[in-house]
Amino acid sequence: MSAAPQKARAGAEKIDVIVSAVVPLNELVTRFEFTRADDKAFPPFSAGAHTVVEMRDGDRLRLNPYSLMSDPADSSQYAISVRRDDAGRGGSLFMHRSVKVGDRMKISYPVNLFPLDLRGRKHVFLAGGIGITPFMAMIAHLERMGGAWELHYACRNEALGTYVDQLTSRYPNKVHVYFDDRNQAIALEDLLDGQPLGTHVYVCGPKGMIDWVHATAAAHGWPDENVHSEEFLAPQPGKPFEVRLCRSDITIQVGESESLLEAMERCGVDAPFLCRGGACGQCETDVIEADGTFVHRDHWLDDEDHTSGKKIMPCVSRFVGKSLVLDR
């Protein structure tokens, strides 16, 4: 099993930050800059990484991922740009309406699900709207490392062209901007055909744009591994739920930002664990009774176990419903 397993939290560490600037860029997009509350340097990050911002919205906890768009070499601050989404779940509205300079917040360590392929001889970036943000960091990185890149950036109109002026004035030969209201569109087929061997394409934007780029590239014989897109799996803070632990003879509440395992530990139940990441199998627990649905997030149980409703891995998995009784 183990040597000296630590009861540390699973997943990304958190960083306490202070909002150091709130900069409206246009009608929809605002940049938020953070400094560390403890005055230490931020950890370096890889271009394309995002951070998960924790928002205390009344009695709700919201967790929204935003691409880090500051220069990865600048460890004195992190910056994100947030587009207000009036129809969204509310995280971006909260950022726009409630977050002020001087506020304290918690953000996660950087996580990268959209990395540069460092083997690439050349990197072609295709951005749609707010999809520009990860490319801001990638461009800063490649400029420093002397890598070849070009950007094709589609915006609704000039007024909503976030960072267009900054990009076109700094890199006039590498940045190409297309405005929908002028009927300008990225000539993707020509663009793909003209690239040297070893080029990688990255797309970040609305889902339709991502699908279009993947499909067109495939039709033009591009290997899938040379076409990259960002997939945001928005982390869901689980809803709080109640669990009856029969052997320990107690009923406990699992909060929205803790795992079932952490809740058991908080209540003094000595539950087994090792990896705290859903892989090792140590925390496997039998379900005695359940009225509701499981949210399985582990790699340990097989599909059959997951559908059976007879087992749960408390380090990562959750439950939504009326009642849950575990053999622990």
CB nearer to another protein: pick between 190 and 225: 225
Encoded amino acid at 175, one letter: V
Residue partners of 200: CB distance under 8 A and separation at least 6: 116, 117, 120, 122, 123, 124, 226, 227, 228
Binding string to ligand FES for residues 245 to 274, with x set by CB under 6 A, is what?
----------------------------xx
Stretch that binds another protein, among 55-63, 78-86, 203-211, 275-283 (CB under 8 A): 275-283
> Which listed residue (179, 202, 300, 319) binds ligand FES by CB under 6 A?
300
Single-letter amino acid code for the residue at 63: L
Pick between residue 57 and residue 284 the one whose CB is nearest to ligand FES.
284
d(CA 50, CA 52) in angstroms, rounded, equals 7
What type of residue is 221? G
Residue 87 interaction partner, one of another protein, ligand FES, none, beta carbon < 5-8 Å per kind:
none
Applying CB under 8 A, the span of 2-10, 170-178, 203-211, 232-240 interacting with another protein comes to 2-10
312 and 293 in contact (C-beta within 8 Å)? no
Total residue count of the chain as it appears in this document: 328
Q: Which of 185, 187, 188 has its CA nearest to residue 220?
A: 188
Position 117 contacts another protein (CB under 8 A): yes
- Please report, for residues 68, 182, 193, 209, the alpha-carbon distance to residue 152 in angstroms, rounded to integers and kept in the order given: 20, 15, 15, 12
**What is the closest distance, in whole angstroms, from the C-beta atom of residue 284 to ligand FES in the complex?**
7
| Rounded CA separation 167/151 (Å) | 9
Query: What is the footprint of another protein within residues 208-247 (CB under 8 A)?
Result: 225
Contacts with ligand FES by CB under 6 A lie at: 273-276, 278-283, 298, 300, 313, 315
Contacts with another protein by CB under 8 A lie at: 1-6, 8, 10-13, 43-46, 48-49, 72, 109-112, 115, 117-119, 144-145, 225, 274-281, 299-300
